[in-house]
Structure 1
Amino acid sequence: MPPNRYATSLLLLSIVLLSWRICHGRKILIFPLEGSHWVNMDIVVKALHSRGHSVDVVRTDKSWYIKEDSPHYKTITVPVTEAFNPDFINPILKKVIDIERGESSVWSFASLQAEMFSAMFNVHRIMCKMATDMFEDKDLMKTLKDRKYDLVLTDPAWGAGILLAHALKLPLVYNVRWITSGEGHMAIAPSPLSYIPLTGSGLSDKMTFIQRVKNHLFSIIWLAQDVLLIRPQYQALCDQFFSSEVRYIDLLHGADLWLMRVDFVFEFPRPTMPNVVYMGGFQCKPAEPLPEHLEEFVQSSGEHGVIIMSLGTFVSQLPADISNEMAAAFAKLPQKVIWRHKGVRPATLGNNTLLVDWMPQKDLLGHPKIKLFVAHGGTNGVQEAIYHGVPVVGLPLFFDQYDNLLRLQERGAAKILTLATVDKDNIFLNAIQEVLHEPSYRRNMQRLSRLHRDQPMKPLDNALFWVEFVMRHKGAAHLRTESYKMPWYSYHSVDVMLFLLTTAVVALLFVAGLLWSCFRLGCKRKVKLD
């Protein structure tokens, strides 16, 4: 074929492919969270964009992580007076760390719960104010309706995206681990408290009687938080902008698809539903080459290898005395250490430790020289450690972090410390040495890695298929249980049990009455005969 004809054919083929992508691409509205939640939502956004879909992302003008300009999405920016950002989270973190470092007691537990209750109330108050501003902006709502989206994808740990999907009458998909009332499974699937531990309880799926009592108490705490502090705020918006017959709890439970950011290599076995798709570790991928300065530092570790430490998105530094204790412990090790740390340089920092503002965590975890991950226990970091088979020393601070690390510890792949003990009696140093030198930690984590990777389809590809499935079929009602529409007494068959019990009692009384009548009649006849 002549060169000019070849070029023309290639151009025509490109135009056809581009036209196919435009014709088959759909419009998706994303209502994400900030912080680490946006980090994993952004991966889904990029993947959807790569498949030819048009993506719009709702953000605030005080957004923490979500950039206004991106080649993968367009933004819809909502002006707000308050937002979930460092100004909101840092004072809470300081209080939580102070409470965690205190003596363990009923008072410290109550203080921590009160702080968490206050934080949760305020973050949902901020989100409800944002939703109110959106719904009252008639031009914005008209614009959103005129764009004729095919789907709303949201993280339901905040409820504004759920309300927006209802207002626009669109299919709803969750990128979910948490919902406004707690862990996602607890809302959608049967969750017996006899073997399913509540977040915050610090329990596994093997519980003694006392632990089951504790688990039920935690369920009451979560229910009280939802019923008293969270749900009324969103219900007030339903009453104001929809009608009093629209219940927020029904909207929450009624999503077409739940993309669950866990899998059963990580999660304890539990009941599930057909519209739950597991995509744990979807953000994980093989390691890429490190920047030159990091590669040189890693290679300089020789046979001893490298330890990396990061406390995640929210926490960049710890109190100075704890940082100094950790730095001193690191200095005693033959390994090199890469530590994501901001703030004052620890006075006890050794020559083997490199402080960085940011690290390519995924690429470091996948490097063959990495021996240990000191982590806070966020879901993303835990999944990445599993994917790359790196054992963990956990330092949980708040929310679900202890529970995430507990799942690794129960499988022999991690050791958990607490802020109250980490600076005492060389506990931090001893924990690191134990995980480094006891082969079972690495062996167990690598086994989890093999299990996680042994899947017929990559978790992200599976999630994308189901998102597009919902758009193709304009929902997935056939996968959605109707149980959430039932009152609690019908769901638990209390009314049936009462009916059967009443019927049995009436029948028993009738038989007893009949026997008594026969007995009396027999007695009367006997008297007459006498």
Structure 2
Amino acid sequence: MVSPPLALLPLVLLALSMGPPGCDGGNILVFPVDGSHWINMKVLLEELHQRGHRLTVVRASNSVYVPQSSPLYTAVTIDVAGGWEEFFEFIQELIKSLREGHFMHREFANFIYQAHSVWGAALSKFLDDEEKIQSLRDSRFDLVLTDPAIAPGVILAKYLDLPLVLNVRWIQGSEGHFAVAPSPLSYVPVPGSGLTDKMNFFQRVKNVVFYVLVTLQQKILIEPVYSALCKKHIRGGCDINSLLQQADIWLFRSDFIFDFPRPTVPNVIYIGGFQCRAGRPLPAHLEDFVQSAGEHGVVVMSLGSLVGAMPEREAEEIAAVFARLPQKVIWRHKGPRPSALGNNTLVVDWMPQKDLLAHPQTKVFVAHGGTNGLQEAIFYGVPVLGIPLFFDQFDNLVRLERRGAAKVLELAHLSQGFEAGLKEVLGRDGYRRNMRRLSELHRDQPVRPMDRAVFWVEYVMRHKGARHLRIRAYEMPWYAYYGVDVALLLAALAAVPALTAVVLVRLLCCKKTRKDKAKQQ
């Protein structure tokens, strides 16, 4: 009689000969947005590359952050007019205006328009190049992965007739949910409003006004750029909102620990904090500096990838406050070295931000309120003193302030409020306790956000899209979506018996009146 182990031997050998289970690597066309958006896109690309997928990245000829050569991907370069020098100069002017207590609304709107116009012109020229387009077609991509804050990647996916996956939080001019999910203005704050999900009557009025302004900005400044592009290159034309709504999967860089709870739809997959990981050991010189802080701990300050340095006056004020702290400070600052800098402050051009936030000695994170930095602060449980500058940063910080994990300081009040605000966040245990609570909630998930992101990218490749997850609302006219036609029909049906009754009563009354008159005569 053959023993059970020997009986199973042929099956084991057969399984080994077939090799390990797995899936073939996909072929992905990536259209990122430069700057800080590239940072989180690159993290996702590293994971996809590690899992065997082939990547081709469309980059701008003037890109500062997306290199031409990389072991992760093959680059396709689009000629884009202009340069980053003008952008950085504009950012500095914008910071100066905020310092003086006002915002350059007209200049900012013009900047947004110019950014979309430049990319629209660049993509149009690229689509006219038959050789490059044919090369993309011959590559037989499985899908397009793009960040729709700038929308050429969305149009390119439509042009090549490929499934579309969005790595998204912001679309052109607004937050992504407003294009894809029901967004009741009674409790869903509009970007730029600075509101929370708890609004009184006047705040709801303000929210509606902001919604109208944001919608007008999109309709007047942004959509015409892409409509012209669609009219020229897409048969039958298209509009950018419809293309966004046709995306197969939205990998949404947020979650409901960071954001306010709100309605959503099946093809929105939340991956907030996907770029976070366990902390790694610091370089020796940084570890020595951090440990030298003793029981007081360390303050970490960074204003993101776009703002390497504050204007000189603001930098001097910040340096003077840091010099008076018992804590040690690590400050990412690329400008001139402030004269008020103390011996307790280490100024660096670059810092391992995640590893510093993960370090138990780090007590407070002074940040501008970008999504990446705040998600990392939540992951590592570090309270925030926020100095919002532009874009979504104020709204992001309001979300943490609402939960008691951050304090927001407007740039115009920096002189009077920076030291008091910093000492408040350092001194009150509630900030750290609330942030640690958010960290616990964020980490308590059945699947890592990165694994969730990769699964859905591969899901779209396996099934050639995910159209079955799209809701029908996008294909309905507005009167059908809001039930106006149904309400009118029901009102008409209800009105018929009522009108009939009124007519009958009037007839009976008239008949009775005539009889009474006849009797009187």
Same fold flag (TM > 0.5): yes
Aligned pair partner of 1:440 in 425, 430, 441: 430
Partner SS, residue 203 of structure 2: helix
Q: Taking structure 1 as the reference length, what is the TM-score of the superposition?
A: 0.92
Which whole-Å CA distance do the structure 2 matches of 1:101 and 1:297 have between them?
32
Partner SS, residue 265 of structure 1: coil
Q: How does 1:286-365 map to 2 (within 5 A)?
A: 286-365=278-357
Q: How does 1:461-480 map to 2 (within 5 A)?
A: 461-480=451-470
> Are residue 40 (structure 1) and residue 45 (structure 2) matched?
no
Aligned residue identity for 2:76: I
Which whole-Å CA distance do the structure 1 matches of 2:222 and 2:475 have between them?
20
Given that 1:309 and 1:339 are in contact with CA atoms closer than 8 Å, whether structure 2 keeps it comes out as yes
Q: Could you give the per-residue CA deviations for residues 224-255 of structure 1, whole angstroms, max 9, x where no partner exists?
A: 01111111110111111113453332112110
Which whole-Å CA distance do the structure 2 matches of 1:235 and 1:120 have between them?
16
| Structure 1 residues 285 and 54: CA distance shift in structure 2, 3 A | same
Given that 2:96 and 2:311 are in contact with CA atoms closer than 8 Å, whether structure 1 keeps it comes out as no
Q: Could you give the per-residue CA deviations for residues 461-512 of structure 1, whole angstroms, max 9, x where no partner exists?
A: 0110111011100011111012112222222223333333344445533432
> Are residue 415 (structure 1) and residue 413 (structure 2) matched?
no
1:7 counterpart residue number: none
1:239 counterpart residue number: 231
Which whole-Å CA distance do the structure 1 matches of 2:387 and 2:484 have between them?
43
Partner SS, residue 281 of structure 1: coil
Q: Could you give the per-residue CA deviations for residues 107-132 of structure 1, whole angstroms, max 9, x where no partner exists?
A: x4xx5332331121111101101210
Q: Could you give the per-residue CA deviations for residues 35-70 of structure 1, whole angstroms, max 9, x where no partner exists?
A: 110010011111111111111000122112111111
Given that 2:179 and 2:241 are in contact with CA atoms closer than 8 Å, whether structure 1 keeps it comes out as no
Aligned pair partner of 2:250 in 254, 258, 280: 258
Which whole-Å CA distance do the structure 1 matches of 2:207 and 2:78 have between them?
40
1:488 counterpart residue number: 478
Q: How does 1:383-422 map to 2 (within 5 A)?
A: 383-422=375-414
Uncovered stretches (5+) of structure 2, i.e. residues with no partner: 1-15
Partner SS, residue 335 of structure 2: coil
Partner SS, residue 355 of structure 1: strand
Which whole-Å CA distance do the structure 1 matches of 2:18 and 2:313 have between them?
63
Aligned residue identity for 1:92: F
Instruction: Using the TM superposition, give the Cα deviation of residue 317 of structure 1 relative to its aligned residue in structure 2, in angstroms.
Output: 1.1
Aligned residue identity for 1:243: R
1:230 counterpart residue number: 222
1:99 counterpart residue number: 97
2:419 counterpart residue number: 429
2:73 counterpart residue number: 73
Q: Between 475-484 and 257-266, report the one with greater CA deviation.
A: 475-484
Aligned residue identity for 1:437: G
2:499 counterpart residue number: 509
2:6 counterpart residue number: none
Given that 2:280 and 2:355 are in contact with CA atoms closer than 8 Å, whether structure 1 keeps it comes out as yes
Q: Could you give the per-residue CA deviations for residues 314-354 of structure 1, whole angstroms, max 9, x where no partner exists?
A: 11111211111111111111100000001111111111001
> Are residue 203 (structure 1) and residue 195 (structure 2) matched?
yes
Which whole-Å CA distance do the structure 2 matches of 1:140 and 1:208 have between them?
54
Which whole-Å CA distance do the structure 2 matches of 1:181 and 1:358 have between them?
30
1:90 counterpart residue number: 88
Aligned residue identity for 1:90: F
Q: Between 511-520 and 247-256, report the one with greater CA deviation.
A: 511-520
Q: Between 313-322 and 151-160, report the one with greater CA deviation.
A: 313-322
Uncovered stretches (5+) of structure 1, i.e. residues with no partner: 1-12
Given that 2:168 and 2:250 are in contact with CA atoms closer than 8 Å, whether structure 1 keeps it comes out as yes
Partner SS, residue 414 of structure 2: coil
Which whole-Å CA distance do the structure 2 matches of 1:513 and 1:113 have between them?
60
Aligned residue identity for 2:484: V
1:449 counterpart residue number: 439
Partner SS, residue 348 of structure 1: coil
CA RMSD of aligned residues (A): 1.7
2:12 counterpart residue number: none
> Are residue 193 (structure 1) and residue 178 (structure 2) matched?
no
1:126 counterpart residue number: 118
Given that 2:226 and 2:239 are in contact with CA atoms closer than 8 Å, whether structure 1 keeps it comes out as no
Which whole-Å CA distance do the structure 2 matches of 1:95 and 1:326 have between them?
19
Given that 2:78 and 2:123 are in contact with CA atoms closer than 8 Å, whether structure 1 keeps it comes out as no
| Structure 1 residues 245 and 321: CA distance shift in structure 2, 3 A | closer
> Are residue 178 (structure 1) and residue 179 (structure 2) matched?
no
Given that 1:89 and 1:314 are in contact with CA atoms closer than 8 Å, whether structure 2 keeps it comes out as no
> Are residue 270 (structure 1) and residue 262 (structure 2) matched?
yes
Instruction: Using the TM superposition, give the Cα deviation of residue 385 of structure 1 relative to its aligned residue in structure 2, in angstroms.
Output: 0.3
